[in-house]
Structure formats: structure tokens, C-alpha cells
């Protein structure tokens, strides 16, 4: 049986991601949490939160990995990470567009397990 550790650091990082309107990178999280914990602990907490399905990873076009809180309740909605992300070229913010689901078609016998669909341009604050 797998146990889940709830630490002050984990709670603080989850709260930070939940309150953020944009996805955050590891280095942004580290700066915002100041001396809460070291960088390795932050990586472990982020991996644990991804595995617990409360946050998800977003790969940006420049290769940076950002993290965002999942805006769902398992009881009321079918939860999926297969939504569109928007990457602003100017301010570098990454935003989840939860209401936009990508559509695509693939050849037979391919099984899609995850979609990472990122649009790039200017966000409303920068356009």
C-alpha cells in the first residue's frame, strides 16, 4: 500500500500552483518559495503531485517544463489533461485553456495516451 506524505513544503507548492493563473517552471517555483526547501525536494514534490493527478506538466516550445494545477473535481467531471495550452511569446506565460480540447485524427492501430497541444502567440495582456 502506497502512503502519501503531506508536508508543509508540498502543501505550500500545491497552494502556489493552485493560486497561480499561469503554469510555473521549477525555477519559478523555487524563487517564489524562497528557502522553503531545496531544488531536489521541489522536483520530488512536483513528481509526486503529478503522480497524484493534482497537477500536470506542460512542455513549452523552448523545452521548458511548466506545471499547472488541475482545475477539476473527480466527482463531477471527466478529468483529462488533453486540453490546449497557450504560450505567450512576449511574457513567456503558459496558460491552460481547459475549455479548448484539441481535435486530431491518426492512422488506425495507434493508441493516444497523452496529448501536449500548445499554441504560441500573444496573450491578452501582451496583444
Per the CB < 8 A criterion, the answer to whether 29 and 41 are in contact is no
Task: Report how far residue 125's alpha carbon sits from residue 73's, in angstroms, rounded to the nearest whole number.
Answer: 29
Is 37 annotated as contributing to ligand binding?
Answer: no
- Cα–Cα nearest to 25, from 65, 81, 57, 56: 65
- Read off the pTM: 0.77
Q: What's the mean per-residue pLDDT of the chain?
A: 85
Task: Report how far residue 14's alpha carbon sits from residue 125's, in angstroms, rounded to the nearest whole number.
Answer: 25
Is 70 annotated as contributing to ligand binding?
Answer: no
In tens, the pLDDT along 7-28 reads: 889 999 999 999 999 999 999 9
Residues 74-82: what's their mean pLDDT? 53
Domain 8-121 has CATH 3.30.930.10: no
Task: Report how far residue 96's alpha carbon sits from residue 23's, in angstroms, rounded to the nearest whole number.
Answer: 8
Is 91 annotated as contributing to ligand binding?
Answer: yes
- What residues have CB less than 8 Å from 93, skipping those under 6 apart? 22, 23, 87, 123, 125
For the chain, domain boundaries: 8-121
Task: Report how far residue 39's alpha carbon sits from residue 26's, in angstroms, rounded to the nearest whole number.
Answer: 8
Amino acid at each position: 500500500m502506497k502512503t502519501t506524505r503531506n508536508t508543509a513544503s508540498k502543501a505550500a507548492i500545491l497552494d502556489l500552483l493552485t493560486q497561480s493563473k499561469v503554469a510555473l517552471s521549477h525555477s519559478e517555483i523555487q524563487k517564489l518559495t524562497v528557502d522553503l526547501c531545496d531544488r531536489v525536494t521541489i522536483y520530488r514534490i512536483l513528481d509526486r503531485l503529478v503522480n497524484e493527478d493534482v497537477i500536470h506538466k506542460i512542455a513549452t516550445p523552448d523545452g521548458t517544463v511548466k506545471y499547472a494545477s488541475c482545475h477539476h473535481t473527480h466527482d463531477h467531471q471527466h478529468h483529462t489533461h488533453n486540453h490546449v495550452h497557450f504560450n505567450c511569446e512576449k511574457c513567456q506565460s503558459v496558460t491552460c485553456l481547459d475549455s479548448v480540447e484539441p481535435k486530431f485524427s491518426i492512422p488506425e492501430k495507434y493508441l493516444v495516451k497523452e496529448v501536449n497541444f500548445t499554441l504560441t502567440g500573444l496573450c491578452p495582456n501582451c496583444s
